[in-house]
Chain A
Amino acid sequence: MKVITAYCNLRADECLVNGEVVARRDAGSEDSWFKQIYRQQELAYPKFYKMDVLSQAGYLASEFIKRANPGIFEGYADDEIALVFANASSSAETDRRFMQSYQTGGSPSPSLFVYTLPNIVLGEIAILNKWYGENMFAVLPKFTPGFYLDYSEILLASGSRALLGGWLEVTAGSTYVFLFLVEQRESGTEFNNENLLHLSQTGSVAAY
């Protein structure tokens, strides 16, 4: 059966991995929330500082999944992990910043422009992990478990053996990030509508 073997939730003021809080926001810090997490967790990937908020979120959440579950990706060939991400506002936050660069900042910023596509986060994760698998980014009105359930059925029947799913909504006003790994296992937290909705909202899984 398909089970959720690991997940990470990034909220406005806390970061949870497999339901456990690993970082809390320091309201007094001058650093952005994602930079606070990066520093607190002693990550070392300087490219992080060049990334936009969507890519930072995807990078952090995927690294925490790896860290909390050592070896979790090792049993797969480099093209067997599919990435299926979605959100509601595309890359709007970075789009706004890029627009500012040419409207009030003097000239269009190439380093912002390259992040004005929502699928760039998939590229960042693929580059870091050297993954050559299937990628898809969809823009949906809201987090919809059925989207991941339906598309996983297709991917897992056609060459992919695991799926890293993600909902990455990061705007000026809110942070709602949920990454989850789906694998074939004999038992575990079943990959279904109810569990996805639950894990996306509460960050902890119901007892079974």
Chain B
Amino acid sequence: MIYIGAEVIVSPLGDNAEDNWQALSENRSGIALAPAVGFNNEDIYLSRIAGLNGPLRFQQLVIKALASLNERIDASILASDRTIVLISSTKGALDDNLHDQFSETCTAVMQQFGLAHLPMVISNACISGVLALNVAGNMVEAGQYEHVIVIGCDVASDFVLYGFQSLFAVSDKPCAPFDAARNGITLGEGCGAALVSATKSVFKNAPLQLLTGTSANDANHISGPSRTGEGLVRSVSRTMQKHGIGAEEIDFISAHGTGTVFNDEMEAIAFNRLSLAEKPLNSLKGYFGHTLGAAGVIETAVCMQMMRNGMLIKSIGYRDAGTSQPLNIILENKPEKLRTILKTASGFGGGNASLMIREL
């Protein structure tokens, strides 16, 4: 069995999973209007971490998350030769060093924590986090490592904000995933971390089970989602088949839900094709914004908190059905026993990835 636990979330809503959970259970969002940050000095809604300033913001966040995770696991794990750290990120420390966006952080983390191996970076756009968790599960399952720590991290930058502005993909209000009036993303920053391990006893609090998933390209367009949801359908159906899990066993879906017209429509089509349309579903982008390479890890960590606390969390920003196919969007927080959950992600480059978490 592959275990996952010791989840950490560093976001505008708090520095650990518990503080973030508290905020989510009160439906507080990290999104706020940032004055004059746009390319034309427009005010833009962003989800930024207060006090995260100056150089080395990416490195600061990664180190903070790993230090916090380290308190939740056996003290021998970090320095073990049987442990590797995976970092999922799109733009890393781009603001510090355009030409070498990751290696300084990897070296600093290795030295500071006395790691046996240099961290490995996975950079697959917005599916990076879910993909890295799957890579972690696969590495443990294959016996390549006994413990794999996954850290998903991205910081908000002019670079990425101006880019999404140039695509007319930035929402003029806090993003509203799956809502009829949605009109784009809200950019966020944050860091999520979790330990994936073959050994249950290394977690200080009880872990959950990771049902490692698969990825699939949708072979359609580098920056536009497939109209049929083919890649997402293939990824989710392969993930469920791999573990012999039928639709009836899925209790909740943590969707990607960026808040763009086309992404959310694609997901609605895919979940209908998968006969999962009736499952309670949310997007967490209304709380954290789109944290890109961190999103999959942060959102999986939230799923784990939802399972631990037995609570479905409202999809904020959603009011009126806004996709051609129906979905069961969570309108209010609701206590619910969650035994098996599905997490999905889709992104630029046509990537789609999925995984499941199951109660022990």
Mark A residues whose CB is within 8 Å of B.
78-79, 83, 88-90, 92, 95-96, 98-99, 102, 107-110, 113-120, 122-124, 126-127, 129-141, 147, 150-151, 153-154, 157-159, 171
Contacts and interface: CB of A to CB of B under 8 A. Distances in A.
B219 A119 contact: no
Contact of A117 (B135, B215, B238, B349): B349
Contact of A123 (B91, B215, B349): B349
Interface in B137-182: 138-139, 141-142, 144, 158-159, 162-167
Given A123-B350, A159-B238, A137 B120 contact: no
Interface residues of B, number: 53
A166 B165 CA distance: 32
A134 B222 contact: no
A120 B120 CA distance: 19
B32 interface: no
B166 A132 contact: no
B147 to A, nearest CB: 16
Interface stretch (B45-53, B92-100, B267-275, B309-317): B92-100
A114 B118 contact: no
B167 A96 contact: no
B305 interface: no
Given A119-B349, A136-B215, A137-B124, A154 B99 contact: no
B102 A90 contact: yes
A139 B348 contact: no
A135 B349 contact: yes
30 contacts: A83-B217, A88-B100, A95-B91, A96-B98, A108-B165, A114-B222, A117-B123, A119-B124, A122-B124, A122-B217, A122-B351, A123-B221, A126-B217, A127-B219, A127-B220, A129-B219, A132-B216, A134-B216, A135-B124, A135-B217, A137-B124, A138-B121, A139-B122, A140-B121, A141-B103, A150-B142, A154-B135, A154-B141, A154-B142, A158-B214
Contacts of A126: 217-219, 350
B102 A135 contact: no
Chain B contact residues: helix, strand, loop or mixed:
mixed
B99 A114 contact: no
A123 B242 CA distance: 24
A122 B117 CA distance: 27
**Which of A132, A138, A141 has most B Cβ within 10 Å?**
A132
A134 B213 CA distance: 11
Nearest to A127: B219
B124 A127 contact: no
B100 A114 contact: no
Contacts of A92: 98-101
B167 A110 contact: yes
B2 interface: no
B223 interface: yes
A147 B118 CA distance: 12
A116 to B, nearest CB: 7
B30 to A, nearest CB: 24
A127 B222 contact: yes
B166 A119 contact: no
A107 to B, nearest CB: 7
B131 interface: yes
A89 B99 CA distance: 6
B223 to A, nearest CB: 4
Nearest to B87: A139
Q: What 6 pairs across the A-B complex have the smallest Cβ distances?
A: A123-B349, A113-B163, A126-B217, A108-B166, A108-B162, A139-B121
Contacts of A108: 39, 162-163, 165-166
A134 B102 CA distance: 24
Interface in B233-265: 234, 238, 242
B90 interface: yes
B125 interface: yes
A147 B117 CA distance: 13
B7 interface: no
Contacts of B100: 88-89, 92
Contacts of A122: 124, 217, 349-351
B242 A139 contact: no
B231 interface: yes
Interface string B74-95: 0000000000000000111010
A114 B122 contact: no
Nearest to B159: A99
A120 B224 CA distance: 12
B138 A154 contact: yes
Among A138, A151, A153, find the residue whose CB has the most chain B CB atoms closer than 10 A: A138
